[in-house]
Chains A and B, each alone.
Chain A
């Protein structure tokens, strides 16, 4: 994804001054599009009585923040459930995606295109439709209404994203690395863990971040498969926001936003170009020497 392209920046600068002006306009527009909703939420979270026609809140308050800490609000346990589900989905999706991405990257054109299309279907299909069917199957299997059922249900749309990210990373790994390691006597296990995984570590960070963000934002699958017993943060967010509890809802939205933004930040830190990464690539010889 984007961090990988960083190296390619600033090659093209054909526009000169008019470009600077356009970037200034873009900055202003982007600022307004981000700042306005953020300010709206933030003001709502620290003040009471944000209502028309008052622009600013009537009084400042810590009430929503204190209430969030109170176990009786249900929010601490929802936060724990959200974290548990999202972390489990992240680990599961990455573990499934690393081998699958490797195999996908080594397949030929037509087969690969078919598999990519197959993987895209559950990722793009509406979550509620998948959940309708899984709900009935989970009832028969007796895993409806629990965290494991919710995690497996969320893996259905999350795994494909991780697989496609890993596949595109493995496509950029020169097979010569594997051959060199093998000719030095490395076993499959060593090749996988000591050669391939380190080469795609930035992509693993990206895949993990994307899986986490998807799982953290998932609402309707958890709602249906959790059977009302697995309560995650978005359910509280929605209930409070539509229930008119503006202050509380604003504060909760801010809390809800922290983990996915942190995941994005971690992805940019871990997924960025690493020192030594370039030297390794050139040492593996040209990218054209792909055998399989």
Chain B
């Protein structure tokens, strides 16, 4: 260590910096490239989106030119957005899809984790199989499986349980968002289960064994030992699922109804309109969706903090 401090002396023309400050500088250097590419570019992109949402749409240069602060900033885009007749239905469907998918993935994921706890490694490998499936493929698979002419309907028709295509319930491309909920739940449940299994692996087996010896029943054991242990991970997993599904684009694109469009679809439609005057609204909506997604993640984090504090751990 002293050797490194001496080497640092040759780099700095001041007195030898302490080893601590040198390692701090080193860490900054190690972190800087990754931070610049991900967090830096993300912040720059959001800043641009925010400024562009506040600028009046003037002429065709509004996209290629730098965001100039000197032009008047206006909340017109937000007002116009709020006045869109399809905004409220879009908000409702986006919230419904994200909330219901998150709740189902949390419940199924918890059940799956408890079921597979202590099961063989092959089960865990099988659990991963859905993770690399792109969302687009999951959506298309749901479409082809559950549409009125999909494989389930054809299977039912083959065994004589379905008289006509019209008798099959509309669960894809429906106005309620059922298809999207199914695709997101299918994708997110193994993800939640994996996070919870990792948490359950860290649970001290002695606790449960002792409780069992003391005659504590299975239900009470899961309430007193397992639940407090997995709760923080469940919060985080649910917050991640909600934040992601709320802003995801591909699944409602394939499985959503034309009306109402999920919020990300609405934002994209406004963005690609030939009428460039609509673009500030697209930016405003993108910013709002991002804020809601990141806000829900922050709430999940706070929930974890609160839960951890309450249990007096760490």
Residues of chain A touching chain B, judged by Cβ–Cβ distance below 8 Å, are 1-2, 5-6, 8-15, 22-23, 26, 30, 33-34, 36-41, 43-44, 51-55, 92, 96-97, 99-100, 102-104, 106-107, 115, 117-137, 139-140, 152-153, 155-157, 159-160, 163, 182, 209, 213, 216-217, 219-220, 234, 237-238, 241-242, 246, 249-250, 253, 256-257, 260-261, 263-264, 268, 292
Contact = CB atoms under 8 A, between A and B. Distances in A.
A11 B135 CA distance: 35
Interface in B20-61: 23, 26-31, 33-35, 37-39, 41-42, 44-49, 52
B134 A124 contact: no
B37 A156 contact: yes
B93 interface: no
Nearest to A44: B144
A121 B296 CA distance: 11
B64 A124 contact: no
A209 B132 CA distance: 9
Interface stretch (B10-18, B76-84, B99-107, B153-161): B153-161
A96 B286 CA distance: 28
B198 interface: yes
Nearest to A23: B119
B120 interface: yes
Given A129-B49, A137-B45, A219-B250, A13 B118 contact: yes
Contacts of B276: none
B158 A55 contact: yes
B34 A97 contact: yes
A44 B153 CA distance: 15
B132 A264 contact: yes
29 contacts: A2-B124, A6-B124, A12-B205, A14-B212, A26-B116, A37-B144, A39-B151, A40-B144, A41-B144, A52-B153, A53-B158, A99-B29, A99-B34, A117-B298, A121-B42, A125-B42, A126-B290, A127-B249, A132-B45, A133-B47, A137-B44, A153-B41, A156-B37, A213-B131, A234-B250, A238-B254, A241-B140, A241-B143, A261-B129
B127 A2 contact: yes
Contacts of A249: 140
Nearest to A162: B34
A106 B24 CA distance: 10
A129 B129 contact: no
B124 to A, nearest CB: 5
Contacts of B49: 129, 132-133
A30 B125 CA distance: 13
A234 B33 contact: no
Interface residues of B, number: 101
A219 B253 CA distance: 11
Lowest 9 CB-CB distances: which A-B pairs, in order? A126-B247, A133-B45, A217-B134, A260-B132, A100-B34, A122-B42, A37-B141, A12-B118, A99-B30
Q: From DSSP, what is the main secondary structure of chain A's interface residues?
A: helix
B214 interface: no
A104 to B, nearest CB: 7
A128 B267 contact: yes
Contacts of B290: 125-126, 129
Contacts of B174: none
A2 B194 contact: yes
Contact of B293 (A11, A104, A126, A159): A126
A196 B301 CA distance: 31
B90 interface: no
A129 B46 contact: yes
A53 B136 contact: no
B254 A242 contact: yes
A121 B39 contact: yes
Contact of B133 (A124, A155, A257): A257
Contacts of B158: 53, 55
Contacts of B44: 133-134, 137
Contacts of A33: 186
A261 B132 contact: yes
Contacts of A263: 132
A238 B135 CA distance: 11
A253 B129 contact: no
B135 A217 contact: yes
B42 A156 contact: yes
Contacts of B6: none
B145 A128 contact: no
A155 B186 CA distance: 26
Contact of B45 (A5, A37, A124, A134): A134
Contacts of A130: 41-42, 45-46
